[in-house]
Structure 1
């Protein structure tokens, strides 16, 4: 096995290696971990079979061909009574204070043990509803959601590696659905949870026909309300219970709100929950009402995620990146069988802290979730562009094989160990997904039964894929090169396959004679449709669902979002997570004008100077600990400083948001009418910002930049002629001109013509007319990442409907 290095080694040691009481690693290599886990899980087999399966499990683990879920790797064979399940869905809270707090307690207990939680909040009565027991009014599910969000974000830290993960859902019929859809446009609200709307087929039909849609809730005066109401309106109606229609709206109004909210803030997600239940293998006894935090598993109350991933890139044969590799399908068959067997054994090994989990999983479903990782890397080595017709053909072949072999393996296990407890020989084969299986497999299920009711999924593989040094889940490569900054300086980090190709063709690239092949395509270079087609191809062969992010360009419109969502529905997806570049910033930029009926106030002189249509200034390019910043300073016709723009990081990232906020506040100070002279205000701004320090710095001596605010102070001092030397000294230079500075050469704009003068300096400057146009020299990769809340590095990627850090291995899933 190739020795682990860098981040892969760090993730293995921090997350999965066995440690002593002081936290020192007892396992120095994955081989030791593989032997521990293989031996532990094989103990669940009959004694005469233990050695055989221990060898098979180890063979599957070797070279990261198959990687069980992180809970299994960290817990199996350690002697600790820990859960092996990653995520859970708990029952919707009872519609009372006691019921809500009981659900909160259950959530906290699960998260404290490392599990993520999904909760459907539809059981809670809408805002403003009468609560007779206390003679008051309900605050509604969105307000209660804040409580669960705060507990997840600010209280739970799972082993110091991540905060708790929470999914909150609401059905499309709930009277508060409009508030739920738009609530996260205020970024201060419910920011400790993912939100998704449960969408029914009936709603989609109403959208297509432009029909009416009733927002309704059970009659809370029903004598059996407290005992029978569980948040599922369809079940409530099937009991013959009364439903009160609160209001009727056009279905397209709700649909438009969902698309607009996703366009603005990337939430809520959409889960086609009625389709989930129609395709549910357990349709005859267990209804799905929620999904786990990452969305790949629709689960009944007390359902669990029992995860493991096959690393497709480990089955590719051929090392020369310039030559098209081959794929070993026979080896894949062997590993699929081991994956199913191992994850079935885990069902018997979990300690089952909550009785509800034991009843649903051990005594009911015996659900497993075999998935994949490394698809992006695999397609590159096979010279297939992600999303192309050729790639979809290969994807179809791979995932059909995995489906068929996984079901056959579970049937074989049923012959030896028995079927899952709730198996019904007549009803189970009638399931809509089961009907898509080859006839010979359906026949075997009817004859022998099956060990596991649900077998396949596509989960995020954030930290495990980092350890295996391959792409996450079914995602394409997030980005082929990015900048990592640490105490030793700045490093360009390239994806390992792209690095192999780049080393061979570096001179040709520099000479402009070649470009990277089109099969080196990153997530942000693909069209949203490419993402959808790949996901839909895989969904056909997965009985659960898929966690994946559909990336969209900043130019995408709300109408484009609706087209993508409609396409996802028509192609058979069970859910969709959408991320438009800049969507997190848009919530601040687009604000509707509101009229009021107040009487007109007496006219006053403007407090803030009005911005003219055309304004000139300079743009400075400077290094900061967070990457290159482009700082634009504009002045009015009287040469008074007027506004500041700071561009750094990817649109929608925390870095970009903080930079924008800093620029806005400084611009406000510059534009406010004040008796304080303009240069004195500049001096005070520099004094406040200079020297502010963060976790890292760049540069040395007087050129050392300690933080983004410190960089802004230095640029202000350079532009306005101040010197930072303990005090802010005025050393104003004459003849500061508008111009463009690039690579040591200044172009001055004089009488409409450009003339060239040679100059020296450390900062790049460019003329700005009306709007800023960034230099093409800024690397494509610089700014696609966000700030990591664990290590602080600007290497946090949004993918698989989740977030993970490429510097420290932090993951939110």
Structure 2
């Protein structure tokens, strides 16, 4: 229940919560309008024992933050003669970091081969010249012909900021002082974030001088100012202060309408509150009649917060709302003689209004408030209303900025829809939280909270809520997001394998390893665990928001740098960052204290593998979505799209809602529509292009008069829905009213193709889809234009591209079909968005047609719905149009149904082609999902997208045997051909997929499960095993099988030895052996008797050319060991194998990788693992009787020691990989990459770089050289 008072206060509580009413305690549900409720004044402390502490940021330029390796250490080891790689090993850093420091910042030459040359490959003076002119790093890099990173490093070495200024030295306050509180109030009132600092808008010169003085006192730097549009714009130019400000106060003002009282002020004593309120009223308040101060704001949350502050310091104040045509404003003002006197005495104004107010109330007969009675520290106000409030669960949780976020989510879900969340705006795991001194738990924990909230609500038990979680690829926690719905992560969470309440509690990394043991080699889990796999985040679809710069890095084979959303700066890896990347096999790329950069290909591969596993995550190309938006988001950032609805067809602004309708194309074919196959054979040659031919065909095939009428009616209908709809959340309602977004789309496309004799996925089919959607797009815009003439444009039209068509010519003409010059003064339109294509799953079933732009799933299929609907049996659905076609051609429909159902029950149904009861002439018309390749699915989506101004919900379906490479091809195709997002699904990868032709969506996970199921089925059918065996048909089948087995037994048999099963835990040792191809790690695990049981070997980049061969050889050796082959024989076969590259290890020549593995196995068998490295001796040393012990010594840290590491219960050895991204093959200047690679292989050389793993080696001056990392064999 909610109680409201005449002074603007509201209290929400449970019915039995007690308040002091009319001098007595009363339950909230007993209070009535007209009662007097007691309000306390002055409850904030006069002083606090501890000042409110603030969080400082790294001093100086941001690029130097978080370094764990000093240049002095690099220089010292370089002077000792160590190579870059040896220095990196000594300092536990990456070689690329050492190379960059040594070459770019210390200007030192490389010691030995493989290092980057000292100095720079460009003129430093030219860089300074371009930098001083204000050019960005990217512009300078383009001019100098170098990489942007090179320019950034050059600036870093000279302490230059990105805006051309030398990095200035400033100070950072450690606590909230009264001066800082006052400056903070000025900023909350009328300030913002500047590109290079923090900005204030002030109208009075006294205030400007105050801002400058406060800045100098607080930060040791003044404010720069300009006069523009009737006010001063003052800027404190400092990136360091900007980062400090954002870290401590940024959450308090994302925009003017979302401003709040900063948390630091809420925790402060009265003097600091006085100062904050003084700054706020001076910036955004008025003084009426020289004695009545008032504060105005578009943010109700800010006004409520200031109201509480005033009451807290003992100043009676009232709040009310102002309504005008543009927007609502809220006001708070001191009241009563006591309130005005206390305000003038303790708060006042920065400018002359402070003295004016003091003079005005001095000796004046101030009136008492008309709102209740003020008596000292108690204020009684009349209750004006006690209202029922929606039910709500109380969570003991505080979320910065948006305290009602979960409450808003609950209300929205109860209305029966779905939501999209931009989780990438939350700070990453491990990020410091200044207000608490702790660290952030990261966005994934919020996802789980929202998932459980949605699960609990489940649409009132009738329909579950749907949610879309989006994370921008630049977020540091994106790796955790990508894997959040993988089987191992889902099992670990659902089974609570790291439950803190369990005495066996372990880390989540350990829980992941335990979960992975439950998944077999083919990625299957036991049937009894499948609900656990699919129960985690089951109310979420997840998509990664991929940006253009990520795709550029992917195509260039480069690393991608992550951004901390809290600071907007490159993310410096924390131990927690390292932890999550270690969990998913990318820890080798993460160095704590260094900027987080990962090869783009590695992240991309993880996305593809997740999609291959179970269809998650999808991808949203966020920047393309915003570039195609009806607003220029760079000029209007408040209109930036952050996420989509759950199905992905509606990229939405914050608080925007979907409003969709669909035209059934399958009812628009003309009664005398020609068959494309016949028409094209007769007429296609008459036209200059395929596009023109299709256009002419559609004029005959489609009833355009009916089509245009439906477009006009559909547009007007959806516009009326916007007007008439009620929304449960005020912000949603306001956004929908302002933008009036609608989405007119289609369904029945696949059925239309069949009617017109067109194959789904064909070139002509895609051209038909493109032309039909373009027609809908243009005609719906025309209708919306007519509506604007009748009813007015949408509220935010003036900021949209429709207001300035000539500035966005290509976009405007594409979506309207009109000449931008004819509408140079603006194109009035009622709805900022008019077209989309939704999945129309339920709608298309009601309309008895195919969904959206999807093909026919199949002519017969099972449909999984909730158990209370389908019961114990899955629902069998037949495509209605298929059945009608059969009936029209006098085919026995019942016979076709029986045949299909029998095949489906046996998991043998393979579409219409496998149905003998269906004539071929009919079957070839029905192209179903399984008949199409992934690219054909994607091509349809991209064709439709050309005629849609929102987006499209379409799934690129794949057969169960499709590979990850097949899916990657589709992801890249859609990006390259203008699509806005990708969703893929491989048949059978979820046990509860909605549509399937299988009786069971997955096969048995193991023989025991199969046996248990089969026995159960025998009992159900035959009544028991005995009756089953006595059955004549069974006996005949058994006799046949036995005869076949006996016949095969008579043939010569090869006796293959069975391999020993692997125990759960094995102990062993890992050796490092130097080879000509890099460091090789060999792990040998022993059985319980101390004999070698298995062997692992890793070298170079995971999945690379050399490593794949090495891993395969190790697996063969392990199989041999487990099969009882004598390890000495294995050593004999391996040792002595030669290759073009040799190396020395522990005094022995290592001729190849097989030779190295054989040597490691021999050392293990001969107990020579800890043997030292032999040193050179003179004859005098030998004659002098130098002992063997003196003749060997441990290797220095810069060399390989071939030493063993206790592997404990090891399963895999460590991988030594280079720092660089895996790059495309580059043959060097002017070279052909494929020819060079083939030449290397033909010469017996590995084409893979031993340092970074890139396949981009070429011959330079007779030496193999890597274009990616600079490695050279010379």
Classify the TM-score, shorter chain.
0.5 to 0.7
User: Do structure 1's residue 656 and structure 2's residue 1031 form an aligned pair?
Assistant: no
**Corresponding residue SS for 1:711:** helix
Which of 638, 660, 670 is residue 317 of structure 1 equivalent to? 670
Report if the CA contact (8 A) 1:122-1:169 is conserved: yes
**Corresponding residue SS for 1:162:** coil
Shift of residue 327 of structure 1? 2.0
Report if the CA contact (8 A) 1:216-1:246 is conserved: no
Task: Tell me what 1:278 maps to.
Answer: 627
Assess, with a 3 A threshold, how the Cα gap between structure 1 residues 495 and 362 changes in structure 2: closer, same or farther: same
Task: Tell me what 1:711 maps to.
Answer: 1017
User: Do structure 1's residue 178 and structure 2's residue 178 form an aligned pair?
Assistant: no
Assess, with a 3 A threshold, how the Cα gap between structure 1 residues 318 and 290 changes in structure 2: closer, same or farther: same
Task: Tell me what 1:465 maps to.
Answer: 844
Distance 1:273 1:444 in 2: 29
Shift of residue 564 of structure 1? 0.8
Task: Tell me what 2:650 maps to.
Answer: 297
Task: Tell me what 2:444 maps to.
Answer: 142
Report if the CA contact (8 A) 1:175-1:246 is conserved: no
Report if the CA contact (8 A) 2:777-2:835 is conserved: yes
Distance 2:1032 2:668 in 1: 67
Task: Tell me what 2:561 maps to.
Answer: 214
**Corresponding residue SS for 1:440:** coil
Query: What is the correspondence of 1:33-182 to structure 2 with a 5 Å cutoff?
Result: 97=399, 102-152=404-454, 154-158=455-459, 160-182=461-483
User: Do structure 1's residue 255 and structure 2's residue 639 form an aligned pair?
Assistant: no
Shift of residue 305 of structure 1? 0.7
Distance 1:358 1:493 in 2: 39
Cα deviation per residue 1:519-551 (whole Å; 9 max; x = unaligned)? 311112211111111111110110000011110
Task: Tell me what 1:375 maps to.
Answer: 749
Cα deviation per residue 1:18-42 (whole Å; 9 max; x = unaligned)? xxxxxxxxxxxxxxxxxxxxxxxxx
Report if the CA contact (8 A) 1:311-1:372 is conserved: yes
Task: Tell me what 1:389 maps to.
Answer: 763
Shift of residue 559 of structure 1? 1.7
Task: Tell me what 1:497 maps to.
Answer: 881
Shift of residue 506 of structure 1? 3.2
Assess, with a 3 A threshold, how the Cα gap between structure 1 residues 420 and 506 changes in structure 2: closer, same or farther: same
Distance 1:459 1:445 in 2: 33
Cα deviation per residue 1:66-124 (whole Å; 9 max; x = unaligned)? xxxxxxxxxxxxxxxxxxxxxxxxxxxxx963557632221111010112100011122
Distance 2:466 2:787 in 1: 33
Shift of residue 151 of structure 1? 1.4
**Corresponding residue SS for 2:596:** strand
Task: Tell me what 1:434 maps to.
Answer: 812
Report if the CA contact (8 A) 1:340-1:370 is conserved: yes
Which of 638, 660, 667 is residue 307 of structure 1 equivalent to? 660
Query: What is the correspondence of 1:535-574 to structure 2 with a 5 Å cutoff?
Result: 535-574=941-980
Report if the CA contact (8 A) 2:431-2:440 is conserved: yes
User: Do structure 1's residue 481 and structure 2's residue 856 form an aligned pair?
Assistant: no
Which of 185, 192, 207 is residue 539 of structure 2 equivalent to? 192
Task: Tell me what 1:7 maps to.
Answer: none
Assess, with a 3 A threshold, how the Cα gap between structure 1 residues 246 and 332 changes in structure 2: closer, same or farther: same
Assess, with a 3 A threshold, how the Cα gap between structure 1 residues 361 and 428 changes in structure 2: closer, same or farther: farther
**Corresponding residue SS for 1:194:** strand
How many residues were matched structurally?
527
Task: Tell me what 1:54 maps to.
Answer: none
Task: Tell me what 1:359 maps to.
Answer: 734
Assess, with a 3 A threshold, how the Cα gap between structure 1 residues 101 and 179 changes in structure 2: closer, same or farther: farther
Distance 2:409 2:607 in 1: 27
Assess, with a 3 A threshold, how the Cα gap between structure 1 residues 512 and 733 changes in structure 2: closer, same or farther: closer
**Corresponding residue SS for 1:408:** helix
Query: What is the correspondence of 1:345-356 to structure 2 with a 5 Å cutoff?
Result: 345-356=720-731
Q: TM-score, normalised by structure 2?
A: 0.38
Q: TM-score, normalised by structure 1?
A: 0.59
Assess, with a 3 A threshold, how the Cα gap between structure 1 residues 245 and 446 changes in structure 2: closer, same or farther: farther
Report if the CA contact (8 A) 1:321-1:500 is conserved: no
Task: Tell me what 2:934 maps to.
Answer: 528
Q: Kindly report the root-mean-square deviation, in angstroms, between the aligned alpha carbons of the 2 structures.
A: 3.9
Task: Tell me what 2:98 maps to.
Answer: none
Assess, with a 3 A threshold, how the Cα gap between structure 1 residues 570 and 750 changes in structure 2: closer, same or farther: closer
Distance 1:445 1:519 in 2: 48
Shift of residue 747 of structure 1? 8.7
Assess, with a 3 A threshold, how the Cα gap between structure 1 residues 716 and 579 changes in structure 2: closer, same or farther: farther
Distance 2:751 2:670 in 1: 12
Assess, with a 3 A threshold, how the Cα gap between structure 1 residues 471 and 219 changes in structure 2: closer, same or farther: closer
**Corresponding residue SS for 2:597:** strand
- Please say which of residues 125-134 and 571-580 is displaced more in the overlay: 125-134
Task: Tell me what 1:597 maps to.
Answer: none
Task: Tell me what 1:794 maps to.
Answer: none
Cα deviation per residue 1:144-185 (whole Å; 9 max; x = unaligned)? 211111111x21233644200100111101111011101111
Distance 1:96 1:128 in 2: 18
Which of 773, 782, 791 is residue 399 of structure 1 equivalent to? 773
Distance 2:466 2:652 in 1: 16
Task: Tell me what 2:290 maps to.
Answer: none
Distance 1:489 1:451 in 2: 49
Report if the CA contact (8 A) 1:739-1:749 is conserved: no
Task: Tell me what 1:30 maps to.
Answer: none
Q: Which has the larger radius of gyration?
A: 2
Shift of residue 491 of structure 1? 9.1
User: Do structure 1's residue 413 and structure 2's residue 794 form an aligned pair?
Assistant: no
Assess, with a 3 A threshold, how the Cα gap between structure 1 residues 209 and 483 changes in structure 2: closer, same or farther: closer
**Corresponding residue SS for 1:520:** coil
Unaligned runs of 5+ in 2: 1-396, 491-532, 570-592, 679-699, 865-869, 897-914, 1050-1057, 1059-1274
Distance 2:877 2:733 in 1: 45
Assess, with a 3 A threshold, how the Cα gap between structure 1 residues 128 and 497 changes in structure 2: closer, same or farther: same
Shift of residue 732 of structure 1? 8.5
Report if the CA contact (8 A) 1:408-1:441 is conserved: no
Report if the CA contact (8 A) 2:804-2:824 is conserved: no
Report if the CA contact (8 A) 1:296-1:544 is conserved: yes
Distance 1:569 1:366 in 2: 29
Distance 2:705 2:923 in 1: 29
Unaligned runs of 5+ in 1: 1-94, 223-243, 587-625, 628-648, 671-684, 690-707, 725-730, 755-769, 771-813
Query: What is the correspondence of 1:212-251 to structure 2 with a 5 Å cutoff?
Result: 212-218=559-565, 246-251=595-600
- Please say which of residues 433-442 and 180-189 is displaced more in the overlay: 433-442
Assess, with a 3 A threshold, how the Cα gap between structure 1 residues 172 and 96 changes in structure 2: closer, same or farther: farther
